[in-house]
């Protein structure tokens, strides 16, 4: 087994260098062209990939991934760095922070730039949880390097820990956005019948209104009284009943007709 393979597979090994070590030990040696004994950081143009693809391309790392990245500028060596990927872009936040030696505070080791990845195209985009710390050597040291191949930076990629409160706020915002879309779609559908002054609540529009039935809901209708002869035989004079009578019954008393019917 080779030494490098043995070193990379040490049980319990965690690669977690400090910012001073990243600048003064790793980046400075790579810029000088010196070969490192431990190949923990690979060289990769990370802007050809989206941040969620980078963990699988790193040599080591569980929550933080490191890369030596060649400097890619938009126009010449003095142009702004091109940090655009296929699905988004990296946007710098704040000013660069100086990293100084712990032994000598006057000794400047390098600069640190913090960037956030946005999905979409600039200037618009959706902010994500992917963060990048870009470490570079001082400008005075980089100016002494003549070959463009040695103008590189060291990048650390990681995901920002999201609090439960922020997750709840995102879920609430997404729910409001969906309700607004449903409300707008329903308003467009009913616009041909009426033009409501303001949008109704989604729950009120979906749920049918309950009608309470009371004793006063229906109007009382007065029906005409049914006239039924009780003490007379006027009903025998009805034309319809007259047709049913037989002439030979006329000789009988009215009581015979009653019996017939």
Whose tokens are 């529009």? That residue is: 205
User: What is the C-alpha separation between 248 and 100, in angstroms, rounded?
Assistant: 138
154 pLDDT more than 90: yes
| Residue 248: inside a domain | no
| Residue 38: inside a domain | yes
| Residue 237: inside a domain | no
220-238 pLDDT, tens digit each = 556 666 555 555 455 555 5
- Do residues 162 and 75 touch, judged by C-beta distance below 8 A? no
| Residue 245: inside a domain | no
Range of the domain at 82: 3-165
| Residue 217: inside a domain | no
| Residue 148: inside a domain | yes
Q: How many domains is the chain built from?
A: 1
* Mean pLDDT value of segment 131-140: 91
- Rounded to two decimals, the pTM is 0.58
- Give the domain CATH number at 8: 2.170.150.80
User: What is the C-alpha separation between 249 and 238, in angstroms, rounded?
Assistant: 16
Q: Mark out the alpha helices in 162-216 (DSSP H runs).
A: 164-190, 202-206
88-133 pLDDT, tens digit each = 999 999 899 999 988 888 899 999 999 999 999 888 889 999 999 9
| Residue 188: inside a domain | no
């Amino acid at each position: 087994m080779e030494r490098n393979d043995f070193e990379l597979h040490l049980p319990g090994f965690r690669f977690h260098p400090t910012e001073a070590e990243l600048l003064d030990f790793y980046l400075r040696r790579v810029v000088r062209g010196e070969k490192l004994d431990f190949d923990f950081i690979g060289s990769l143009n990370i802007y050809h990939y989206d941040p969620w693809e980078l963990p699988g391309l790193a040599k080591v790392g569980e929550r933080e991934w490191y890369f030596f990245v060649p400097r890619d500028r938009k126009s010449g060596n003095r142009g702004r760095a091109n940090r655009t990927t296929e699905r988004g872009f990296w946007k710098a936040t704040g000013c660069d922070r100086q990293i100084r030696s712990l032994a000598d505070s006057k000794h400047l080791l390098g600069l640190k730039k913090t960037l956030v990845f946005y999905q979409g195209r600039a200037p618009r985009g959706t902010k994500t949880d992917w963060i990048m710390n870009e470490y570079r050597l001082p400008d005075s040291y980089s100016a002494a390097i003549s070959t463009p191949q040695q103008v590189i930076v060291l990048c650390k990629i990681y995901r920002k820990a999201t609090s439960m409160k922020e997750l709840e706020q995102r879920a609430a915002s997404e729910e409001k956005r969906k309700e607004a879309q449903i409300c707008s779609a329903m308003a467009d559908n009913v616009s041909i019948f009426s033009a409501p002054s303001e949008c109704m609540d989604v729950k009120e529009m979906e749920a049918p209104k309950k009608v309470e039935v009371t004793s006063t809901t229906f109007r009382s209708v007065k029906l005409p009284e049914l006239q039924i002869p009780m003490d007379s035989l006027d009903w025998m004079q009805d034309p319809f009943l007259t047709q049913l009578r037989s002439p030979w019954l006329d000789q009988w008393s009215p009581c015979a007709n009653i019996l017939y019917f």
